[in-house]
Homo-oligomer: A and B are copies of this chain.
Amino acid sequence: MERHFHRDLAALKNDLLRMGALGQRMVQTAVKGLTDRDGALFAEVRRDEEQMNSLHMSLDERCFTLIALQQPAASDLRFLLAALKSISELERVGDQSINVVKSGEVLLREAPLKPLIDIPRMADLTQRMVHDSLRSFVDKDVELARSVLVTDDEVDALRDQVFRELLTYMLGDPTSITRALHLILISRSLERIADHATNIAEDVIFMAAGTDVRHRAVDQLVEAAREAGEAAR
């Protein structure tokens, strides 16, 4: 049972990374569709979204089964609960990529407003954050998790810059308003993707700190209760 559990856990980690890679690809493809003005790329993101949703369901179920069947030790349980959260963050990365696509589809029907510079930069940072947050989670790499939090500040700064610049366009030229609005919405979606990656990274930091400090009492209690239970049988 024990060996199976560790094999299952390793497989789960692998699939989490795969789900993360899918999320990354969705962000990149959505923004590439925008910069290349290529609607076929938007269709690709919509196909990826279906895969994302089915990964979400199957990984969710696998976490449940592992917790229910294996009754894992406190630290493994904490990992599995964090995995459940990460899975749902990744599913939302997919949702937000679809929001980028929706605004992108509106924008492709009109002439380009301006060459896009900050939005592709936001997308680059954001997809890297998705990658690094998952990697830090699987490897329990607190340093990498911290770097995700730092990049999130960069993304927030870009979001503000995009907002100010597009506001200037809107104020100067009313015909730009609809397009500028959709670009602002896209930058907000990218910011939210960055937030989802940040949530995953925060859990990594929390788990590392928690095992040391906050949760030590609970973890000890759990082990003691189990030992007592086994002794009584």
CB 8 Å contact bits of A198-233 with B (1 = contact, 0 = none)? 000000000000000001001001100100000001
When the two chains form their complex, are residues A68 and B64 in contact, meaning their CB atoms are under 8 A apart?
no
Cα distance A207–B188 in the bound complex, in angstroms: 32
When the two chains form their complex, are residues A181 and B178 in contact, meaning their CB atoms are under 8 A apart?
no
In the complex, which of the residues A64, A65, A74 has the most CB atoms of chain B within 10 Å of its own CB atom?
A: A64
Point out the residue from B85, B177, B215 that lies within 8 Å of A167, measured CB to CB.
B177
Chain B residues with Cβ under 8 A from A225's Cβ? Answer: 69
Given contacts A84-B84, A188-B188, contact A64 B177 (CB under 8 A): no
Copies in the complex: 2
When the two chains form their complex, are residues B77 and A68 in contact, meaning their CB atoms are under 8 A apart?
yes
Within A57-101, the residues touching B (CB, 8 Å) are 61, 64-65, 67-69, 71, 74, 77-78, 81, 84-85, 88
Point out the residue from B64, B215, B218 that lies within 8 Å of A218, measured CB to CB.
B64
- Nearest CB of B to A174, in Å: 5
Interface of A is mostly: helix
Chain B residues with Cβ under 8 A from A233's Cβ? Answer: 233
Chain B residues with Cβ under 8 A from A67's Cβ? Answer: 67, 77, 81
Cα distance A171–B68 in the bound complex, in angstroms: 57
Query: Which chain B residue lies CB-closest to A230?
Result: B233
Chain B residues with Cβ under 8 A from A81's Cβ? Answer: 64, 67, 81, 84
- Nearest CB of B to A187, in Å: 12
Please, could you name 22 A-B residue pairs with CB atoms under 8 Å apart, sorted by A?
A61-B218, A64-B77, A64-B81, A64-B218, A65-B221, A65-B222, A67-B77, A68-B218, A68-B222, A69-B222, A69-B225, A81-B81, A81-B84, A84-B84, A167-B177, A167-B178, A167-B181, A170-B170, A171-B177, A174-B174, A188-B188, A233-B233
Task: Give chain A's interface residues, CB within 8 Å of chain B.
Answer: 61, 64-65, 67-69, 71, 74, 77-78, 81, 84-85, 88, 167, 170-171, 174, 177-178, 181, 184-185, 188, 215, 218, 221-222, 225, 233
Q: Which 9 A-B pairs have the closest CB atoms?
A: A68-B222, A71-B71, A170-B177, A233-B233, A68-B74, A69-B225, A171-B174, A68-B77, A65-B218
